């Protein structure tokens, strides 16, 4: 089977997975106690029972609750596939709109920590493998195991305790200083004639404002980023160490040693190339879980991304939001799986698709 048919097969399989996830969502929604129409009704209106009944009927037909089961299901699938995720209970705004505003923060936080922990973890793993069997090796492995089994929120709490409560170095909440609201640092300044038309206004970048902006964001990003990095760096260390250990017993590594090559050359030229395959695919997969890992850390630091929003929705029992977040995260994971599969094939010429 060639690459093309493999891709087609993967895509079809992934589409089926998406449909299954939508079905699961639908089943959960149907199994939930309570009438969704009651949730949509305006509870504060002081109308007659007849008017309320009319409103209920209206809503029922408006939202399609009076339609047969299969039509409802079809509409549900269509809506989710086109990212019409419903409305949020509190603000009554479309969930997709709110989500679009939350995702950048989560991407910034989780993307940053994933990249940092992958780089640091792999480098650390390579250092450890050079000194394997020693105290540094065993303490690194042990430390990774311990830190990896810590609850993430606890790491966050400890960091808050130390760097916020005690030292006051970093803030405890938000993605930018609270007093910025309505008073943002000026990044672009305009100069030109007093009656600005688009043509004769000259924009110039205010570097100080720009640095303030970046600095403010980074300052608030530090603790949550650090939390996530501490938590996940050990996993990359262990993975690198394990795959390297696996490869250095292979015959070609023994051969390389027998040739009289330096240990470093053996490790990095011969062993690492082959050990890198599972590491790279794991990295690709881990990007799929970028949106997943955010719930707890963002909640600890009240970082305004998807995760914190999920937590707030839990407080209001807004199932719509919870399921929308679940759906989007699942989509990410599926996409990352496809990417990882393809990547594996591209970087490893030995792989035959099929």
Partner 1 sequence: MIDVATRQSKLSFQLKRFLAFLKILVSKKNSALGVGLIGFFLFLAAAAPLITPYNALGVDPTAPLFPLSAPSKAPTWLRVLPGWLGGNPTLSENMLVVNNPMAPTLAKDGGEWNFEKAGDSVSDPYLVADVGIPEGYSPPGFTVGAKEGSLAVKFSRASGTSFQNSSKIRLYVEFDYPYLGPTGRFVGNIALLVRGSSYTNLTSKFANGTLTYVETKHLYAPVVVRVFIGQVDGKEWKLWPNPEIDAVTGAKMGVGQVNSPLGFAKDPVTNQPWGINRPESGVLVPGGWVISRGSAATKGGHIDSESNNLVNPFTEFGAQSIPDRIVFTKPGGYIYGVEITFLDQMDNTRDVETTVFIDDFGLFLFGTSFGLLGTDHQGRDLFSQLIYGTRISLYIGISVAVASVFIGLAVGLAAGYLGRIVDELLMRVSDLLLVLPGLPLLVVLMAVLGPSLENLMILLALLGWMGFARMVRAQVLSIKERPFVEAAKAVGAGRFHIIINHILPSVMSLVYISLATAVPGAVTAEAALSWLGFYDPDRMSWGRMLNGVFEGQAITNWWWIIPPGLFISLLAVSFILLGYALDEVLNPKLRMRK
Q: Which long-range contacts (CB under 8 A, 24 or more apart) does 178-187 make?
A: 180/216, 184/213, 185/209, 185/210, 185/212, 185/213, 185/216, 187/213
Q: Which is nearer to partner 1, 81 or 245 (CB)?
A: 245
What minimum distance in Å lies between the beta carbon of 266 and partner 1?
18
Does 284 bind partner 1 (CB under 8 A)? Our answer is: no
Q: Which is nearer to partner 1, 54 or 146 (CB)?
A: 146
Instruction: Pick the stretch among 16-24, 35-43, 194-202, 274-282 that binds partner 1 (CB under 8 A).
Output: 16-24
Q: In whole angstroms, give the CA distance from residue 349 to residue 101.
A: 41
The single residue among 42, 45, 82, 149 that binds partner 1, judged by CB under 8 A, is: 149
Does 271 bind partner 1 (CB under 8 A)? Our answer is: no
Q: Which residues of 141-157 are buried (b: 16+ CB within 10 A; e: fewer)?
A: beebeebeeeebbebbe
Q: How far is CA 245 from the centre of its chain?
A: 30
Helix and strand numbers (H, E) in the chain are 15, 2
Does 238 bind partner 1 (CB under 8 A)? Our answer is: no
Q: In whole angstroms, give the CA distance from residue 291 to residue 225.
A: 14
Q: In whole angstroms, give the CA distance from residue 201 to residue 191.
A: 6
Q: Are 1 and 354 within 8 A, CB to CB?
A: yes
Instruction: Pick the stretch among 53-61, 98-106, 121-129, 293-301 that binds partner 1 (CB under 8 A).
Output: 293-301
How many residues of this chain interact with partner 1, rule: CB under 8 A? 45
Does 146 bind partner 1 (CB under 8 A)? Our answer is: yes
SS3 202: strand
**E-assigned strands of 108-253?**
188-192, 201-205
Does 32 bind partner 1 (CB under 8 A)? Our answer is: yes
* 113 contact partners, CB below 8 Å, separation of at least 6: 224, 225, 228, 229, 232
Query: Using CB under 8 A, which residues numbered 317 to 346 contact partner 1?
Result: 317, 319, 322-323, 325-326, 329-330, 333-334, 337
Would you state the structure tokens that stand for residue 344, as one six-digit string?
């594996």
Q: Which is nearer to partner 1, 162 or 268 (CB)?
A: 162
Instruction: Pick the stretch among 74-82, 154-162, 219-227, 267-275 that binds partner 1 (CB under 8 A).
Output: 154-162
The single residue among 39, 154, 203, 252 that binds partner 1, judged by CB under 8 A, is: 154
The single residue among 295, 301, 303, 340 that binds partner 1, judged by CB under 8 A, is: 295
Q: Which is nearer to partner 1, 326 or 344 (CB)?
A: 326
Q: In whole angstroms, give the CA distance from residue 176 to residue 183.
A: 12
Q: Are 174 and 302 within 8 A, CB to CB?
A: yes
Q: Which is nearer to partner 1, 54 or 317 (CB)?
A: 317
Dihedral sign (CA 254, 259, 263, 267): negative
Does 163 bind partner 1 (CB under 8 A)? Our answer is: no
Instruction: Pick the stretch among 14-22, 38-46, 52-60, 72-80 that binds partner 1 (CB under 8 A).
Output: 14-22
Residue ranges in contact with partner 1 by CB under 8 A: 17, 20-21, 28, 31-32, 145-146, 149-154, 157-158, 160-161, 164-166, 172, 245, 249, 289, 291-292, 295-296, 299, 310-311, 314-315, 317, 319, 322-323, 325-326, 329-330, 333-334, 337
């Amino acid at each position: 089977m060639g690459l093309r048919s493999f891709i087609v097969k993967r895509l079809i399989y992934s589409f089926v997975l998406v449909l299954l996830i939508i079905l699961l969502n639908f089943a959960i929604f149907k199994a939930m106690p309570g009438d969704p129409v009651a949730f949509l009704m305006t509870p504060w209106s002081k109308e007659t029972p007849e008017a309320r009944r009319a409103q209920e009927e209206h809503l029922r037909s408006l939202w399609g609750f009076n339609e047969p089961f299969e039509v409802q299901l079809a509409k549900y699938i269509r809506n989710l596939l086109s990212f019409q995720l419903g409305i949020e209970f509190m603000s009554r705004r479309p969930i997709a709109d709110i989500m679009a505003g939350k995702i950048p923060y989560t991407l910034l936080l989780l993307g940053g920590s994933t990249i940092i922990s992958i780089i640091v973890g792999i480098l650390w793993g390579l250092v450890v493998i050079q000194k394997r069997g020693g105290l540094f090796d065993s303490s690194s492995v042990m430390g990774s195991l311990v830190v990896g089994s810590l609850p993430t929120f606890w790491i966050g709490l400890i960091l808050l305790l130390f760097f916020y409560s005690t030292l006051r170095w970093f803030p405890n909440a938000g993605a930018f200083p609270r007093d910025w609201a309505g008073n943002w640092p000026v990044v672009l300044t305009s100069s030109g004639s007093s009656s600005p038309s688009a043509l004769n206004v000259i924009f110039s970048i205010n570097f100080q404002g720009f640095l303030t902006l970046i600095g403010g964001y980074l300052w608030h990003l530090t603790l949550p980023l650090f939390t996530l990095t501490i938590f996940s760096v050990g996993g990359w260390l262990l993975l690198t160490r394990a795959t390297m250990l696996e490869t250095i017993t292979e015959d070609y590594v023994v051969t390389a040693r027998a040739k009289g090559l330096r240990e470093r050359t053996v490790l990095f030229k011969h062993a690492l190339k082959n050990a890198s395959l599972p590491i790279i695919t794991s990295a690709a997969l881990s990007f799929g879980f970028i949106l997943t890992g955010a719930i707890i850390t963002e909640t600890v630091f009240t970082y305004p991304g998807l995760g914190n929003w999920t937590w707030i929705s839990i407080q209001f029992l807004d199932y719509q939001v919870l399921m929308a977040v679940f759906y989007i995260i699942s989509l990410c994971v599926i996409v990352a799986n496809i990417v990882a599969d393809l990547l594996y094939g591209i970087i490893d010429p030995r792989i035959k698709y099929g």
